[in-house]
Structure 1
Amino acid sequence: MTALLEVENLKKHFVADRSVFGRPTAYVKAVDGVSFSVEAGKTLALVGESGCGKSTVSRLVLRLIEPDAGSIRFEGRDLLALDSNELRAFRRDAQIIFQDPYASLNPRMTVSQILTEPLALHDLVPAARRRERVEQLLRLVGLEPRFARRYPHEFSGGQRQRIAIARALAVEPKLVICDEPVSALDVSIRSQILNLLRDLQDRLGLAYIFVSHDLAVVKHIADRVAVMNLGAIVETADTQALFASPRHPYSRALLSAIPVPKPRAKRSRIVLQGEMPSALNPPPGCRFHTRCPYVIDRCRAEPPQLLDDAAGHATACHRAAELPPPDTIIPNDGAFSPALERLVAAFSGHAEVAGSCGVDIVGAAPPAVV
């Protein structure tokens, strides 16, 4: 299958310091040689520690930030070669949902104005039918049409995120970048928003790039996962394969850190030693070698390549093939929080369980949230 989005060797270095003459003397290597692809109707999750470059990658894909090197192709088109008019047309096909729904919505505009703006900008709907389209968008995300006259501050956090989702869907995109869309919400609301995103993907055939540090959420929403460390991807695989058998030591450490609400659940917690390197001066060789328990001399001198096996599982580690198999570092589904257990039940179609926490059932019309 041809990929909807193809990113190759993407780089972005920010100037951190300048000389008295204005010449750059230090750079933050936020993104340093990232490559991945996203298929239509699928979800790729970008995961990693804070500051690893996940959000920067998402903004580079939309050219909200201009890359220093690399290529970005969408449906075969080179996005870096587009002029301003072509770039505006492309942004109808690719939208973003930001982390903080309150900061991303204009407080001086009503919901109707927020949702009408992209329709007018891209001239998608005649002026006489825009009110009808706004009502359709609100129903699509589980809100009542009467909310169109309200301002963002009159809504809860979950409702504001639904409005942000409706704004992204207003232009009928093919790709939606979800930049930690549930991290600012409490657990019960997270399950509703995640279920809504899955439902919309099934209905509309959307492709997602899902940026998150919550691996428990990623396990249930992503088709593939790319693990990032200090601006580079160190492992990528299908979600089930990565959670069942992570190969990179960094991936194993991240997965072992998933909180488990059952104290007696059997698992092996990996505690990394040493200091996290700075993106201003990343170490030579493998960037994870300063904290890796399996480091050898080759790791300190030679950067590992992201090598793919026949099953689509790629790892950037010199010792990936010789490391011992991971212990029970990933909890079973029953060891996740109760809200996520109900989320799993909702995805599986168990309405009697999901309904008890107010989760929208996939395939059913989402109820209004007041």
Structure 2
Amino acid sequence: MPDARAHLTDLAHSLGFEVTGWADALPRPNEVEKYQGWLDSGRQAGMDYLTRQLPRRADLSTSLPGVGSVLVLGVSHAFAPQPMPAGGVRLGRVARYAWTPDYHAQLEPLLERLKLEAAGLGVRARGYVDHGPVMERALAGRAFPGWQGKSGMLLSTSLGAFTTLAVLLTDLPAPQPTPLHPDRCGTCARCISACPTNAIGPDRLIDARVCLSALTIEHRGPLPWELRPQLGEWLFGCDLCSEVCPWSVHAGPLARLFVPDPELAHPDLRRFFGVSEREFQRQFGHTAFSRPRRKGMARNAVNVAGNLRLPEGLEVLRLGSADPAWEVREASAWAWGQWEERAEVERLLGDPAAEVAAAARRVLDDS
């Protein structure tokens, strides 16, 4: 049904997707084996759901019986720098994709629109925005002009590395195969050099155990002690490997569907303290900040304040020392140590949480 494919492609572009392409839904043993090897090496860190989902990722018919073709969709989040809002304590950096309200909520209605249009054409369809059991990057590499870069990210000569992916599974017959886009990384290794924790492997896969993005978003509990300094100013996520990519630099700001919000690009760190989880979700439930939850964002804020050691960060450290979550107070013990504020660390020796008292003792012993 080439007309159905063309109609859905045209609709996707009219809805705001910057790049589209069709791929067959056939399993690729080499892709599955590579993914399995990544899991077997433990590089998924604590994201055990990825292991449970592998059988479904390997066989898309488990998500849509009779699936034949996949419409792969790309949206740029290559935003221009955002102005710093007035007031507040605005330290640290946020990954670009989180500068706009949660992209899942923005893209899911568009996928539903495509699904309804497909149904009108007699086509069964199901959409996913990166939280379903789908290997989006592998499908994108087959579907439109792009390739998996050395950073593990999907790269495009037109969009660079700042691309959010979504897919529409359909029961349309598989399209004719198209030649894969040539690898345009060449001898460049800027992404590898830029990564402060050497999280990028030679197989172009990421070690989530040390990736700054995974640590600030997915990791629960205290951050690994030895990696806290290397997190630097990153409050949420990390863009370093994508920023330095020459293709991203060449592409420049491109986003037209997503609209950035300066309050998300430069959040007031004080808003992560002194509120309940329910209130935090009321304020940030429509954003990517809801993923690490309140105490995760507060922990990250304390870590940033400890690393940057700027005067405005003192308020964050004081708030962190009194936070109801022991994980945040534990981070404060470490951060006060970075400031060499021994008296503040000693106060935390008497904390009712053993983890906080132990962190304070470790700081004092190391000083």
TM-score range, shorter chain: under 0.3
TM-score, with length taken from structure 2: 0.25
Structure holding more strand per residue: 1
Structure holding more helix per residue: 2
TM-score, with length taken from structure 1: 0.25
